[in-house]
Amino acid sequence: MNEFPLTARVMGQIRSEFPQFELRPKAGHRLSQGIDIALKLLTFGGQSTYLTEYHTVLGTTLFLPSAWADTSDVDRAILLRHERIHLLQRRRFTPLGMALLYLLPIVPVGLAYGRARLEWEAYTETLIATAELKSLSAARCPELRRRIVGRFTGPAYGWMWPFRKTVERWYDQVIQELERRDSISMELLESES
C-alpha cells in the first residue's frame, strides 16, 4: 500500500467512519453488469462506460471500474473523497432515501434534481480535494471543468441537470471560494513570517 500513501490516508479516514467500507472490482459482479445494461438502454447508449470508467457506491462497497488499475495515487485519493461524500449522504438520508433521491428520477431521464444535488455536493469535494492534493490551477483547468459540467448536462448520469449555465455558475462559485480561502491562507502565512 506504500505506493499509494494518499489513497491509504483517505481509506483510513473512511474506514474509521464506515468500518464495513470495502473496494471491489465491477468486473465479474452480476449487479454491476445488470446496471450497465440498464443504463445503456435508458441513455440510448450515451452511458456506455459504466464498467470501465465510473466508480459506484452500492451499500458500503465502492465498485471499481477497470480504469482503477491505471489511476494514480493522487487521483484515487480525490475519487475516494468524492465517494466518501456519498457514504455520508447515505447515512444522512438513510439507504432508502438515497435510493429514492438517486434512482427514481431516472425515469423519465433528465431533470433529476435529487441526483444533481447529491452530485453537486460530491463534486464540490472533488474540486476541494483537487485544489488541496494537486493545486488550485488543477481545479481551475478548463478540461476538468468541461468534464465535470458534462457529467451533469450529458448522458453519464442520465442528463441529470441539462442546464449548462447553472452548472457552470456552480463550478465557478466553488473555484471563487477556493481562491478566497487560498488568499486568506497566504495572508496568514505572510503575517506569521
**Would you state the torsion angle of the CA atoms of residues 137, 141, 147, 153, taken in this order, to the nearest 10 degrees?**
90
Our finding on whether 57 is near Zn ion (CB under 5 A) is: no
158 Cβ partners below 8 Å, 6+ apart?
39, 42, 43, 47, 106, 109, 110, 112, 115
Residue 72's DSSP bridge partners are none
C-beta closer to Zn ion: residue 87 or 131:
87
Residue type, 150: G
Q: Of the listed pieces 33-41, 68-76, 118-126, 157-165, which binds Zn ion according to CB under 5 A?
A: 118-126
CA separation for the pair 71, 77 (Å, rounded)? 10
Binding mask 69-108 for Zn ion (x = CB under 5 A): ----------------------------------------
Our finding on whether 160 is near Zn ion (CB under 5 A) is: no
Query: Would you say how long the chain is, in residues?
Result: 193
CA separation for the pair 112, 103 (Å, rounded)? 9
Our finding on whether 148 is near Zn ion (CB under 5 A) is: no
Closest residue by beta carbon to Zn ion: 122
Our finding on whether 122 is near Zn ion (CB under 5 A) is: yes
C-beta closer to Zn ion: residue 6 or 62:
62
Q: How far is the CB of 96 from Zn ion (least distance, A)?
A: 19
Q: Of the listed pieces 59-67, 91-99, 121-129, 184-192, which binds Zn ion according to CB under 5 A?
A: 121-129
C-beta closer to Zn ion: residue 11 or 62:
62
Contact 139, 178 (CB under 8 A): yes
Contact 158, 110 (CB under 8 A): yes
C-beta closer to Zn ion: residue 6 or 118:
118
Which spans of this chain sit near Zn ion (rule: CB under 5 A)? 119, 122
